[in-house]
Amino acid sequence: MRIPHPILGLRDQSEFVYLGDACLLERPDGMQADALQKMTEYAYQRDNCRGLHRELWFHEQGDRAWLVVTRNTVTHEIVKVEFANEVASHD
């Protein structure tokens, strides 16, 4: 697989480390009353989707940017790559 890095262009998958579903960006506030319930869902509940999937990749052997990669889990087609910090700032 090759991932089109927003700045560095097409990079081989071996330069990256995979983490998981980009829903990790939406971390609940740990000080709220229902934090235990929400944090449990946040840490353990994932959709196992067929089709477009937003996921977090770390360009460890590169610029050390965390990326949100939108990948088709059926075809491995990558339709979008964004900087995770930009996505997270907009939320």
Q: How far is CA 30 from the centre of its chain?
A: 21
Asked if residue 12 binds another protein (CB under 8 A), the reply is yes
Beta carbons of 53 and 7 less than 8 angstroms apart = no
**Residues binding another protein: what is the number (CB under 8 A)?**
34
Among 55, 78, 81, 82, binds another protein (CB under 8 A): 78
64 lies in the binding site for another protein (CB under 8 A): yes
Q: Which of 58, 70, 81, 82 binds another protein (CB under 8 A)?
A: 58
Taking CB under 8 A as the rule, does residue 55 contact another protein? no
Report which of 12, 25, 7, 20 is spatially closest to residue 63, judged by C-alpha positions. 7
If one asks whether residue 66 binds another protein (CB under 8 A), the answer comes out as: yes
Q: Do the Cβ atoms of 75 and 11 come closer than 8 Å?
A: no
